[in-house]
Structure 1
Amino acid sequence: MAISVFDMFKIGIGPSSSHTVGPMRAGALFVTELRNQNRLHSVERIEVRLYGSLSATGIGHGSDRATVMGLMGEWPDQIDPGQVNQRIDALRADNQLMLAGEQAITFVWERDMCLLNENLPYHPNGMTLCAYGKTGEVYEQTYYSVGGGFVIDAEQAASGVLDNDTTVLPYDFFSGAQLLKLCKTHGMSISELMMANEKVWRSEEEIREKIMVI
């Protein structure tokens, strides 16, 4: 699996990449999948189940609020952090969540936000999202926030294949020592070598623009 600089350095809402950014991404991925399956508009209620560390420290790290904002269609690099508390307060006042920003559903915080004192098998940062319609469950998925804002689903966890990426980098390395050796062998600085690798995914102009945004 090839990892870009922009996989490691992310713009995201704090305070925690594992407990805040990851859960928001999980919520957003969930509603994206509902939309892809043409099930979004059949959803009437969603239940959030936070396990392990997400349950134990989730309120302090905003895991509960981050998950809900993801369900509302927000992504960590695009959301306005200053609006989060106001939007959550409004949701809790009227028990209504705008799913993916377009489908109004009932969400009763005390009923639908479940903090469970148990761990899922793969990782302590586990969460399950369940969507229900008129006739019962519409879709369910379990996600794990595995660090650095990276999120995998239950199928990825079970298969051991965390990413199907087959990108081949011109200068592949797995340690700092290998990186320095490549630089010496090819007469390149670290920044030159990293730029060459990043250009596998995007142009130099795009790379510099994204760096400046960060």
Structure 2
Amino acid sequence: MPDTVDIDGIPGFIRDVEQRQRLMLASGLHEVDFPRDGGMVFRSDNMPLHENAMQIHAFAGDKQIYSKTYYSIGGGFIVDEEHFGKAESNEISVPYPFHSASEMLAHCHATGLSLSGMVMQNELALHSKQEIEAYFGNVWQTMRACIDRGLNTEGVLPGPLRVPRRASALRRLLVSSDKLSSDPMKRDRLGQHVLRWR
């Protein structure tokens, strides 16, 4: 699952796959060929059901022995082609069901609940309060680790664009410059950097 991935281990994992042209599967229990050229193909066209798709094909020699398409549909949800757009059969009813933002707001107006209060009531129909608090504690720790990593990592961002990392330098500027707080021009320049990131 994505929340169990060791982010710091990704570069080493990618290097290993590129060098050995082998890919470990099933938590390291099985290994398959993964050629550097053609092992992964990025398509410029969209799949028919959704633009965020990934197809997996497995071959034995020249014969395709497996093929599956997965879609990332937002909110951390991934579904395969067979289940795309289908409601789950074990769907649990919630006190305030909705399928659009206007339906959410209608519930809020009718009940007087805030948006977060209404969502919490729905979540309590699915999970205990302790489970919800533990989950959001984990989300916060993950976000915090991401922020800390960004503020303390130099170099360039991963990917082919070679975008330089700026957060660490800006953090150093903020903590080392007493003049920044009294000089409105410096504050404005820092604000311009922040706006460019959005």
Length-normalised TM-score, structure 2: 0.58
Pair 137,182 (structure 1): closer, same or farther in 2 beyond 3 Å: same
Contact 1:152 1:162 in 2 (8 A): no
For each residue in 1:62-121, what CA deviation from the matched residue of structure 2 results, as whole angstroms up to 9, or x when unmatched? xxxxxxxxxxxxx21111111101111011111121112210222112132123344432
Q: Does 1:113 align with 2:48?
A: no
Aligned partner of 1:90 in structure 2 is: 16
The alignment's TM-score, normalised by the length of structure 1, stands at 0.54
Give the alignment partner of residue 210 of structure 1, picking from 135, 138, 150. Answer: 135
CA distance in structure 1 between the partners assigned to 2:51 and 2:31 by the alignment: 31
Unaligned runs of 5+ in 1: 1-74
Find 1:193's aligned residue among 107, 118, 125: 118
Q: Secondary structure in 2 aligned to 1:112?
A: coil
The one-letter code sitting in structure 1 at the alignment partner of 2:86 is V
Aligned counterpart for 1:154 among listed residues 59, 70, 81: 81
Alignment RMSD (CA, Å):
2.7
Q: Is the 8 A contact 1:195 1:204 kept in 2?
A: no
Larger Rg: 2
Q: How does 1:3-152 map to 2 (within 5 A)?
A: 75-101=1-27, 102-133=29-60, 136-152=63-79
Structure 1 residue 180, shift from structure 2 partner: 4.3
CA shift for structure 1 position 124: 2.9
Instruction: Give the residue type in structure 1 aligned to 2:133.
Output: R
What CA distance in whole angstroms lies between the structure 1 residues aligned with 2:117 and 2:91? Answer: 23
Q: Deviations over 1:116-160 (max 9, x none)?
A: 344432233333101234794332101233344433322234xx4
Structure 2 residue runs of 5 or longer lacking an equivalent are 140-198
Q: Which moved more, 1:103-112 or 1:131-140?
A: 131-140
